[in-house]
Structure 1
Amino acid sequence: MASAEPEHEHREDEEAPAGEDEDTGAQVAPIVKLEEVAVSTGEEDEDAILDLKSKLYRFDKDGNQWKERGAGTVKLLKHKESGKVLLPTMSVQEHAGNDKSCVWHATDFADGELKDELFCIRFASVENCKTFREMFQEVAESQESKEENKDATVVADALEKLSVEGKKTEENAGEEAPAATKNEETKTDTDKKGEKPAPST
């Protein structure tokens, strides 16, 4: 019978309700009131024309090895109104040792010192790498042609202003010359009137 008593105690524990949270009626007011803050990513006015996961590497010349700079997404953003894509002036090339990577030279200021670095970006697949390289080159070429057109327009406008101003200057010089001779004639007439006639001898 000694064994029956522990079973009985065990049954009572099972039948007893689990510890329920008791409502004490206490209300806790927040210590600090937080206000909603608008978060700006800086990409609100832009559309992503390219968005791929990748890893960025920097070539360490001292150690003669690639060092990981970070992992994340690489994006090419096109402004909704102007249609411009901010792109540094550099050329991206295929990495000779890896089909999933591209390399380029750029000026880096990440360590607080301005220096020329060799960068490498590695993608998960060969297709992503090819897409990145093609999109980058397409945008770079379109920007070059737009810049050339813009420069040509600026030069043409400057030449037009110069030629128009040159014509105006020539016309003004032609108009001023007869006016100057008229003024000289008027002065000589007044000088003559102011002079006394010479006595006759």
Structure 2
Amino acid sequence: MDPHGDDDEQVGDDYNPEQEVFVGEGQATLPQLPVQTGEENDEEVAKFRAKIYRFADAQWKERGVGDMKFLKNKQTNKIRLLMRQDKTGKLIANHFITAQEGFCKLSQLKTADKSWIWTCYDASDEQPKVWQLCVRFTSPEEVERFKTEFEKAYDSNKALQEEVPKNE
């Protein structure tokens, strides 16, 4: 039997495949489910409005605009940087502020005074990868505030990293 109606079977005289059919009051009732964001065990340390770029294919490519947050894990006290794109909520930056050689050292972008660049092991895509990121702010005050918060997070994570061998 062809589901598209090319057979000789009668469906009914008043059948119209283009017509919408409502049963009941026309409203669906769906149970409200809690949304897991992965931020439940984190405490927000600082938040910024920014645009973020990633260096790929020998050029800076925009990742999106949104709220960039420094989040401190309640159990481990490690601080990470997380950013979601406005409207879609897509993860566009997610990495720990790592105190490793070559990672998370801020430097100013030579062509823009309201931007910072750094290298990190970003896990915002399906496969974590080392990327060079650039963030751009609207005001010089936000640029300096970001630098201060980033360096505080770096120092805090570095101190936590140095404590681990002593406790083992």
| TM-score normalised over the length of structure 2 | 0.61
Alignment: residue pair count? 126
Instruction: Give the SS at the match of 1:38.
Output: coil
Which residue is equivalent to 1:56? 52
Which fold has the larger relative contact order, with Cα–Cα distance below 8 Å and residues 6 or more apart in sequence? 2
2:64 aligned partner = 70
Q: How much does 1:57 deviate?
A: 1.0
Is 1:44 the counterpart of 2:58 in the alignment?
no
1:31–1:59 CA distance, 2 compared to 1 (3 A): closer
1:152-167 to 2 correspondences below 5 Å: 152-154=166-168
Cα deviations across residues 126-183 of structure 1 (Å, max 9, x unaligned)?
A: 11121111111111112212221221232xxxxxxxxxxxxxxxxxxxxxxxxxxxxx
**Alpha carbons of structure 1 residues 40 and 109: separation in structure 2 relative to 1, 3 Å:** closer
Distance in 1 (alpha carbons) for counterparts of 2:56 and 2:150: 25
Question: Take 2:127 and 2:39, find their aligned partners in 1: how far apart are those partners?
Answer: 28
Question: Larger strand proportion, structure 1 or 2?
Answer: 2
Alignment pair present for 1:83 and 2:73:
no
The aligned residue for residue 126 of structure 1 is: 140
* Cα 1:107–1:149 shift into 2, 3 Å: closer
> What SS is found at the alignment partner of 1:121?
strand
Larger helix fraction of residues? 1
Change (3 A) 1:105 1:152: same
Structure 1 unaligned regions, length at least 5: 1-26, 155-201
* Distance in 1 between residues matched to 2:124 and 2:45, nearest whole Å: 26
Indicate whether 1:143 and 2:143 are aligned.
Answer: no
Give the residue type in structure 2 aligned to 1:121: V
Q: Please state whether the residue corresponding to 1:96 is helix, strand or coil.
A: coil
2:91 matched to which residue of 1?
none
Aligned to 1:96: 110
- Cα displacement string for residues 91-139 of structure 1 (whole angstroms, at most 9, x for unaligned residues): 2222222221000123467777776432211011111121111111111
The 3 A distance-change label for structure 1 pair 115 and 29 is closer
Q: What code does the residue aligned with 1:51 have?
A: K
Secondary structure at the counterpart of residue 161 of structure 2: helix
Q: Is the deviation greater in 121-130 or in 36-45?
A: 36-45
C-alpha deviation, 1:41, in angstroms = 2.5
Whether the aligned pair in 1 keeps the contact of 2:46 and 2:71 (CA below 8 Å) is yes
SS in 1 for 2:167: helix
Letter in 2 for 1:58: R
Q: Is the 8 A contact 2:137 2:143 kept in 1?
A: yes
CA deviation profile, 1:20-67 (whole Å, cap 9, x unmatched): xxxxxxx943474311212232323322111111111123444xx322
TM-score (norm: length of structure 1):
0.52
User: Which has the greater radius of gyration?
Assistant: 1
